[in-house]
A = this chain, B = another copy of it.
Amino acid sequence: MERMSLKQQQQRLREDVILQAVNSLLAEKGYDLMTVDGVAAVVGIAKASLYKHFESKERLAAAAMVRLLDRTLEIIESQAASAAPLDKLTSIVRWAVREHLRGQMPALPSTRSALREALIAHKPYVDRLIRVTEHLGGWIEAAQHEGAINPRLSGEVVLYTVFARACDPVSDFLKLSGAYSDEEIVELIAETCFSGLATRPS
């Protein structure tokens, strides 16, 4: 029994190393340009060995996305319940941009990606996505109720906009320019997201 558990733990650890590599490659090149050979090379094992752990490239990417959503849920649930909803939403955006700059944020599954269809058919992924959406949706509603978020925007629009900031190419271009530290970029994305480009009357 204990032997079994140890072996399972080892396998779990190995698969976690694999998924970290997948997340990194997914962020670097996206699903289509990521090759299974490349993943195997980064992990340091043969491609055929990878297929003993994950039955297909799609499942491999799905497992990496599930891992990302699990980490997202951790961050969400670590927010102080007493904090203002708008502050909690801002914290999530900051965390997501930080992950993006670290090269650990896979690109959003585009509406026209082949991966997207596989993901929405993968229950573990959808379950977690629903949980993330419900958490953020609740915060958005609360923020609008207390007048902190523009009530003329539907919750849907706010939610998608928050999601999209996690993969905003603006952070890549700002990083490429070399004129900003990572934390400055995080602040700039958060500020333009919530306050916009136009001047705010103070």
Give A contacts to B, CB under 8 Å: 28-30, 32-33, 86, 108, 110-112, 147-151, 153-154, 156-158, 160-162, 164, 167-170, 172-174, 176-177, 179, 188, 191-202
A158 to chain B, nearest CB (A): 6
- Known contacts A28-B112, A111-B172: does B150 contact A195 (CB below 8 Å)? yes
Query: Does B192 lie within 8 Å of A157, measured CB to CB?
Result: yes
Interface pair A170/B179, CB less than 8 Å apart: no
> A110, B172: Cβ atoms under 8 Å?
yes
Task: Say what secondary structure dominates the interface of chain A.
Answer: helix
Report which residue of A28, A179, A199 has the largest number of chain B beta carbons within 10 angstroms of its beta carbon.
Answer: A199
Q: Which residue of B lies closest to A150 (CB)?
A: B199
Are A188's CB and B153's CB within 8 A? yes
A26 to chain B, nearest CB (A): 12
Q: Other than the known A111-B176, A193-B196, A194-B198, what 13 A-B pairs have Cβ atoms closer than 8 Å?
A: A111-B169, A149-B197, A150-B200, A153-B192, A156-B174, A157-B188, A161-B170, A161-B197, A164-B168, A192-B196, A193-B197, A195-B198, A200-B201
**Cβ 8 A contact of A199, one of B151, B162, B188:** B151
Taking a contact as CB atoms closer than 8 A, the residue among B160, B167, B173, B196 that contacts A196 in the complex is B196
